[in-house]
A and B are shown apart, each in its own frame.
Chain A
């Protein structure tokens, strides 16, 4: 009876399940399994983004990544044995993850879905380069769906490979773009050299796309923000509040607005929003008790990392230490602070203290059509 429930009704029920429950339900019989994989999870408010932690290991193949379930507040381990090469995390693309195989020094990109165990290299760039900035823009299409993700990847700056070995490879002041709908890279055009230099020397972390501009923040003091206006291919530079005093600074997007998260030397962690006229407005400070707990025995914010989705911001360090989360509580319509315990042991074995790079994504068990 239940194993023959019509697919559309079953899909309706499945859209109400969080990813872990769906994974277990899809393991019960063939029909349920087919249905779970054919219909992607809805993006209803009950489907929050999950924090995925990829351990950073030099030259070793990653065996597992770790997932935090925001509803039940527990951790899962997800095997990455389907990846052919060791990789570094670049950033999220909806339900997919953009990764960079580490076997080559020059940039190569790939996408994967750790739940469906799909992996695919993107085509090679037109200009080979090392350490450029990489940014992702989701294309808001009327046909946009989890199964057919539409996105663009922008690569800016980097150092170009010299044809003959010579001292001083040059900075590559060009911008390239990958369009998932065409599965090709094209050179968009030139970019100002000073931006190419800055983006290469202080290779930034995740990009943030907000209101037509793709932003990056330099990876160290003195922090500054660079923005690429996609439509006009023009660059802007923004100052950062308290740039000299921040021990860490990250950009996230909160409810569509560019937000800066930073830790002040000897002070609190703060969040600023970008408002009219490229000004920053302080919107929130991390409550002191969370700051104390997060820092533990450390005296500086230096090793702090941060990621955000529109509805949540996570501050983290390494795998075992806890995280501080600022998240919108849907029932109350406001944002609240939470503490999340770190991931400590699995199956009776202790988890090592690994440095990690985190990303927030919407888990999807349905295989995407990755071209």
Chain B
């Protein structure tokens, strides 16, 4: 039997947890109590329920063993574990933030806060209220003021796709681009092939590039990976 030191934690609803000291010390709050010799009996944690405490302990276990030289847990594996771990409903997430703060477990606090921040990003105030069950408690005057201040964040400009140019190209060249190749092979050749994500100036550059690749292929040199195809196949970059 190993003589690993253990501490006893007691949740608000009376659940008892026996945990290795090193794991418990992931919590700076508990660490302080242990170092001040207040941990001989069960440490009461009146702000944390048993359910949440068991989750916190799970987190601490996973993150303590990662600093153990025997376990070679890569950063990526740990991140994947964190992502899985934090996939909980909002009520649990709220309790986890409060517990991580109260118990002072930095890694867990960062993880939970980042998760909430990611949920907030790019949502409208209405969507935020719906998701987090928040009531709009502004007075009409306050609402007016807030709207005036923040109006800029509610609207974004559209990209300049107004100029519509058509380009006629040989089929062999067009087939350099995987997306268009697929369209052609699906018999989409009756009318103009619309490329919504590409502006005409880029399309011009792309066609130039394709021309070069077709010429290179004809002279039996290796076609290099084309920036052009990357543009068409990756609409976010165009």
Contact = CB atoms under 8 A, between A and B. Distances in A.
Given A2-B132, A27-B146, A72-B122, 11 more contacts: A2-B94, A2-B133, A21-B121, A27-B125, A28-B128, A28-B136, A29-B136, A32-B134, A76-B156, A115-B149, A293-B201
The contact size tier of chain B is 35 or more
Interface in B102-156: 109, 113-114, 116-117, 120-125, 128-129, 132-138, 142, 146-156
Contacts of A18: 121
Nearest to B143: A27
B97 A9 contact: yes
A14 B116 CA distance: 9
B80 interface: no
Contacts of A30: 137-138, 142
B196 interface: no
B54 interface: no
Interface of A: 1-3, 5-6, 9, 12-14, 16-21, 23-30, 32-33, 66-67, 69, 72, 74-79, 115-117, 289, 293, 320, 341-347, 351
Nearest to A69: B156
Contact of B117 (A17, A26, A343): A17
Given A24-B124, A342-B160, A351-B157, A77 B152 contact: yes
Nearest to A347: B155
B158 interface: yes
B114, B129, B156: residue with the most chain A Cβ atoms closer than 10 Å:
B156
Highest count of chain B CB atoms <10 Å: which of A19, A77, A116:
A77
B159 interface: yes
A24 B134 CA distance: 13
Contacts of A21: 117, 120-123, 153
Contacts of B109: 12
Query: Sorted from nearest, which 9 A-B pairs have the closest CB atoms?
Result: A23-B153, A16-B117, A75-B157, A2-B132, A344-B160, A27-B125, A23-B150, A78-B152, A74-B156
Contact of A344 (B116, B147, B149, B158): B158
A1 B97 CA distance: 12
B101 interface: yes
Contacts of A25: 120, 125, 128
Given A3-B132, A27-B125, A346 B137 contact: no
A79 B98 CA distance: 38
A24 B146 contact: no
